[in-house]
């Protein structure tokens, strides 16, 4: 080993590596690595948020304008044009509460699927845990759910203020349910993002396939129509009801509706317009179903990580 | 003496076409020609680098230099064999790779430093050095999309050379920037080298390798063609001027680089 002859700088303590074991430079500990590099994750999330509306005059206001117009559209089509209310009180809140989570889910899955491909410049050149990309896009989508949540809270308060119903007071069970709904979407969104992002690198048609199916998601959850339409077995054979409620997004939507829509109702939330009989608002065992789905979601997340670590080795050369 | 990099019997295979269409795959299947779709970018490469040594990696275009760098830096994983390293790796393979055009130079410095493994405190304490080295002046708070290509490269370079690393990888350093900046770069690289950091230096310029490195490895079609003394490596590659130059420009380019290398 050659030491510089002139003005020899002694090797700094930091560079005394005799104690450090030799290790493969690409070794990572999977998704856990994301927690170790949370500073980088924070910067990546902030970068995405900043870059999204960079150069626009309205800036962050777009995060409010987009969901608000979408909400108005759905409200007019489903609430006003087609069977206003369908026996539901405060249909607008029923709809918007669901939209917060559905938008969060669809955004995090589509952005997560593209996350590796859209960052190929960095991935092909720098060594860093690549799990960061799908996780970051999930968190960016979560950040964009915040303005919608604010609109939702304002809508709930205003409904209680001016409407006939009680003042909207968040209850502990309801807020817990809403939180569980968010957790469900986070876990399933991340699992899907991890799996889909690397599949999309290898098989690039995948993001088109995801896009096709993700458009169906808003219609498979009880937000534009009440849950009892599915549960009564008149339109859809009752055997499909179990399949319907096994959808984690539908479960999450009912959980957040429990938190925000349910407390705004005066008396029963859903009433048959003809007979006046009380109809079910949500699926039975709403909470135990939620926790079971969370467990399944965590298993899926572990599977997603497994798939990711298997496929990611070949990603840089395929980009 | 501590070993810094171990490359053991490493091979890496690539496919000629990484995304064949379904049609293409079926056609090839029907014709029964499955051979010749892959090539070996690296073939049973082995060497060890002790800590503090400065290695010059040479070879013609397509000889596997970039692939080897990507394996050592951890971007890629070898198909066969193993690569082992000690400590943090930084380098100039990816100057400006993580830059986001919409963000300012300042934000990109923090971002890029974090990608290279620096913490916030570390970046804070080195920020002034990085900014003054990049020398972009008032453009520091302008989105980097508006930078000139030279400024862009300087900013990326500046972050990379300020990472407190144990292995430094430099790929074609002299390809960026104007002459004063090149001189500054080489000076900085010399400092890095003298502080006991293991250096992996890739260049086509015989002069700068001679100045910067203690040892040279020449890759030849994915295999180690030569490993040892720098002067002999240059002879091995016929870069020493015995070969007739096909055109004058290349030699004058070489001379300029040599002159630069002599400057520092």
- Reading the block at residue A300, the tokens are 């899926």
- How many beta-carbon contacts under 8 Å exist across A and B? 130
Name the band, by pLDDT with cuts 50, 70 and 90, for residue A275. confident
The domain segmentation of chain A, as residue ranges, is 63-318
Contact in structure between B45 and B70 (CB atoms under 8 Å): no
Name the band, by pLDDT with cuts 50, 70 and 90, for residue B18. low
Judging contacts by C-beta atoms under 8 Å, the chain A residues touching residue B143 are 54
Q: Residue A136 and residue B129: Cα distance in Å, rounded?
A: 30
Which candidate from A24, A26, A40 shows the least CB-CB separation from B115? A40
Which of A56, A312, A315, A317 is the mutation pick for testing B, counting most B CBs within 10 A?
Answer: A317
- Which one is predicted more confidently, A291 or B177? A291
* pLDDT, position A258: 93
Does any CB of chain A come closer than 8 Å to the CB of residue B194? Answer: yes
Q: Which of A196, A178, A7 is nearest to A110 (CA)?
A: A196
Q: What is the pTM of this model?
A: 0.84
Percent of chain A with pLDDT over 90: 39
Q: Residue A181 and residue A104: Cα distance in Å, rounded?
A: 11
The mean pLDDT of A70-79, rounded to a whole number, is 82
Task: Specify the 3-state DSSP secondary structure of A269.
Answer: coil
Q: Residue A132 and residue A47: Cα distance in Å, rounded?
A: 13
Judging contacts by C-beta atoms under 8 Å, the chain A residues touching residue B102 are 50-51, 54-55
Residue A7 pLDDT > 50: no
Residue B253 pLDDT > 80: no
pLDDT digits (tens, 9 = 90+) for B29-82: 787 766 567 888 888 889 988 888 888 888 888 888 888 888 888 888 888 888
The mean pLDDT of B140-152, rounded to a whole number, is 85
The mean pLDDT of B188-197, rounded to a whole number, is 84
Percent of chain A with pLDDT over 70: 92
The domain segmentation of chain B, as residue ranges, is 1-87+169-174+198-264, 88-165
pLDDT digits (tens, 9 = 90+) for A307-317: 998 888 888 88
Residue A8 pLDDT > 50: no
Cβ–Cβ of B89/A127 closer than 8 Å? yes
Q: Which residue has the tokens 């490195």?
A: B213
Cβ–Cβ of B103/A204 closer than 8 Å? no
The mean pLDDT of B176-189, rounded to a whole number, is 79
The mean pLDDT of B157-172, rounded to a whole number, is 84
Does any CB of chain A come closer than 8 Å to the CB of residue B62? Answer: no
Cβ–Cβ of A23/B84 closer than 8 Å? yes
Which candidate from A15, A21, A27 shows the least CB-CB separation from B166? A15
Q: Are strands B89-91 and B167-171 parallel, antiparallel or unpaired?
A: parallel
Residue A177 pLDDT > 60: yes
Residue B132 pLDDT > 70: yes
Residue B156 pLDDT > 50: yes
Cβ–Cβ of A318/B19 closer than 8 Å? yes
Which candidate from B89, B97, B102 shows the least CB-CB separation from A25? B89
Report the 10 Å Cβ neighbour count for A43: 21
Task: Specify the 3-state DSSP secondary structure of A297.
Answer: helix
pLDDT digits (tens, 9 = 90+) for B85-124: 888 888 777 666 778 888 888 988 898 888 888 888 989 9
Residue A289 pLDDT > 70: yes
Residue B255 pLDDT > 80: no
Judging contacts by C-beta atoms under 8 Å, the chain A residues touching residue B75 are 26, 123-127, 316
Label residues A111-147 b or e (16+ Cβ within 10 Å = b): bbbbbbbebeebbbbbbbbbbbbbbbbbbbbbbbbeb
Q: Residue B226 and residue B216: Cα distance in Å, rounded?
A: 8
Residue B260 pLDDT > 70: no
Q: Determine which of A128-142, B90-104, B232-246, B248-262 has the lowest per-residue pLDDT on average.
A: B248-262
Which candidate from B74, B100, B193 shows the least CB-CB separation from A25? B74
Q: Report, at the CATH architecture level, how domain B1-87+169-174+198-264 is classified.
A: 3-Layer(aba) Sandwich (3.40)
Q: Residue A209 and residue A114: Cα distance in Å, rounded?
A: 12
Label residues B126-155 b or e (16+ Cβ within 10 Å = b): beeebbebbebeebbeebbeebeeebbbbb
Which candidate from A14, A40, A317 shows the least CB-CB separation from B114? A40
Contact in structure between B176 and B153 (CB atoms under 8 Å): yes
* pLDDT, position A190: 94
Name the band, by pLDDT with cuts 50, 70 and 90, for residue B259. low
Which candidate from A8, A18, A126 shows the least CB-CB separation from B94? A126
Size (chain A), residues: 319
pLDDT digits (tens, 9 = 90+) for A101-154: 999 999 999 999 999 998 888 888 888 888 899 999 999 999 989 989 998 998
Does any CB of chain A come closer than 8 Å to the CB of residue B102? Answer: yes
Cβ–Cβ of B77/A313 closer than 8 Å? yes
Name the band, by pLDDT with cuts 50, 70 and 90, for residue B26. confident
* pLDDT, position B249: 47
Does any CB of chain A come closer than 8 Å to the CB of residue B72? Answer: yes
Which candidate from B18, B94, B194 shows the least CB-CB separation from A125? B94
* pLDDT, position B193: 83
Does any CB of chain A come closer than 8 Å to the CB of residue B35? Answer: no
Name the band, by pLDDT with cuts 50, 70 and 90, for residue A4. very low
Cβ–Cβ of A1/B53 closer than 8 Å? yes
Q: Which residues contact A39 (CB under 8 A, 6 or more apart)?
A: B114, B119, B120
* pLDDT, position B34: 60
Does any CB of chain A come closer than 8 Å to the CB of residue B197? Answer: yes
* pLDDT, position A182: 96
Cβ–Cβ of B50/A1 closer than 8 Å? yes
* pLDDT, position A245: 92
Contact in structure between B11 and B64 (CB atoms under 8 Å): no
Q: Which of B198, B205, B202 is nearest to B170 (CA)?
A: B202
Quickly name the fold that domain B88-165 has.
Answer: Helicase, Ruva Protein; domain 3 (1.10.8)
Judging contacts by C-beta atoms under 8 Å, the chain A residues touching residue B212 are none
Q: Residue A298 and residue A304: Cα distance in Å, rounded?
A: 10
Cβ–Cβ of A39/B119 closer than 8 Å? yes
Q: Residue A279 and residue A271: Cα distance in Å, rounded?
A: 5
DSSP states of A108-147: HHHHHHHHHHHTHHHHTT--S-TTHHHHHHHHHHHHHHHH
When the pLDDT of each residue in chain A is averaged and rounded to a whole number, the result is 85
Cβ–Cβ of A43/B114 closer than 8 Å? yes
* pLDDT, position A196: 94
* pLDDT, position A15: 60
Q: Residue A307 and residue A250: Cα distance in Å, rounded?
A: 26
Cβ–Cβ of B77/A26 closer than 8 Å? yes
């Amino acid at each position: 080993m050659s030491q510089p002859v002139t003005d020899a700088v002694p090797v700094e303590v930091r560079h005394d590596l005799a104690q450090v074991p030799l290790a493969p430079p690409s070794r990572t500990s999977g998704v856990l690595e994301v927690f170790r590099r949370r500073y980088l994750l924070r910067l990546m999330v902030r970068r995405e948020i900043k870059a999204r509306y960079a150069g626009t005059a309205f800036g962050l206001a777009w995060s409010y304008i987009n969901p608000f117009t979408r909400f108005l559209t759905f409200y007019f089509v489903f609430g006003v044009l087609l069977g206003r209310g369908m026996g539901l009180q405060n249909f607008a809140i029923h709809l918007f509460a669901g939209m917060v989570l559905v938008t969060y889910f669809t955004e995090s899955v589509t952005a997560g699927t593209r996350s590796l491909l859209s960052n190929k410049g960095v991935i092909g050149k720098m060594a860093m845990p690549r799990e960061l990309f799908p996780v970051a896009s999930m968190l960016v989508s979560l950040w964009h759910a915040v303005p919608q949540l604010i609109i939702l809270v304002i809508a709930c308060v205003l409904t209680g203020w001016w409407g006939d119903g009680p003042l909207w007071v968040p209850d502990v069970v309801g807020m817990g349910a809403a939180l569980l709904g968010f957790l469900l979407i986070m876990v399933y969104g991340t699992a899907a993002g991890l799996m889909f992002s690397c599949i999309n690198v290898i098989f690039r048609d995948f993001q088109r396939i995801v896009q096709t199916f993700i458009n169906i998601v808003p219609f498979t959850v009880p937000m534009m129509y009440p849950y009892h339409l599915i549960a009564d077995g008149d339109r859809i054979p009752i055997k499909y009801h179990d399949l319907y409620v096994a959808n984690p997004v539908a479960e999450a939507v009912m959980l957040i509706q429990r938190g925000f829509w349910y407390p705004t109702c005066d008396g029963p939330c859903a009433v048959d317009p003809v007979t006046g009989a009380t109809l079910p608002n949500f699926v039975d065992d709403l909470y135990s179903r939620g926790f079971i789905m969370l467990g399944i979601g965590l298993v899926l997340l572990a599977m997603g990580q497994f798939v990711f670590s298997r496929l990611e080795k070949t990603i840089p050369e395929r980009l | 003496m501590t070993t810094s990099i171990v490359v053991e019997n490493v091979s890496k295979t690539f496919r000629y076409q990484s995304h064949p269409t379904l049609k293409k795959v079926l056609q090839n299947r029907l014709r029964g020609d499955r051979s010749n779709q892959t090539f070996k970018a690296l073939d049973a490469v082995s060497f060890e680098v002790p800590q503090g040594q400065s290695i010059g990696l040479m070879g013609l275009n397509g000889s596997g230099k970039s692939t080897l760098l990507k394996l050592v830096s951890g971007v890629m994983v070898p198909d066969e064999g193993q690569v082992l390293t000690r400590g943090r790796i930084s380098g100039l393979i990816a100057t400006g790779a993580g830059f986001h055009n919409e963000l300012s130079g300042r934000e990109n410095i923090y971002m890029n430093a974090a990608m290279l493994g620096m913490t916030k405190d570390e970046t804070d304490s080195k920020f002034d050095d990085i900014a003054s080295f990049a020398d972009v002046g008032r453009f520091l708070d302008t989105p980097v999309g508006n930078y000139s290509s030279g400024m862009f490269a300087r900013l990326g370079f500046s972050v990379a050379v300020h990472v407190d690393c144990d292995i430094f990888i430099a790929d074609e350093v002299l390809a960026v920037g104007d002459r004063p900046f090149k001189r500054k770069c080489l000076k900085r690289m010399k400092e890095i080298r003298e502080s006991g950091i293991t250096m992996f230096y890739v260049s086509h310029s015989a002069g700068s390798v001679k100045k910067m490195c203690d040892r040279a490895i020449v890759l030849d079609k994915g295999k180690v063609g030569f490993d040892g003394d720098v002067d002999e490596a240059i002879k091995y590659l016929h870069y020493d001027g015995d070969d007739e130059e096909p055109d004058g420009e290349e030699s004058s380019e070489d001379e300029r680089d040599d002159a630069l290398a002599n400057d520092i």
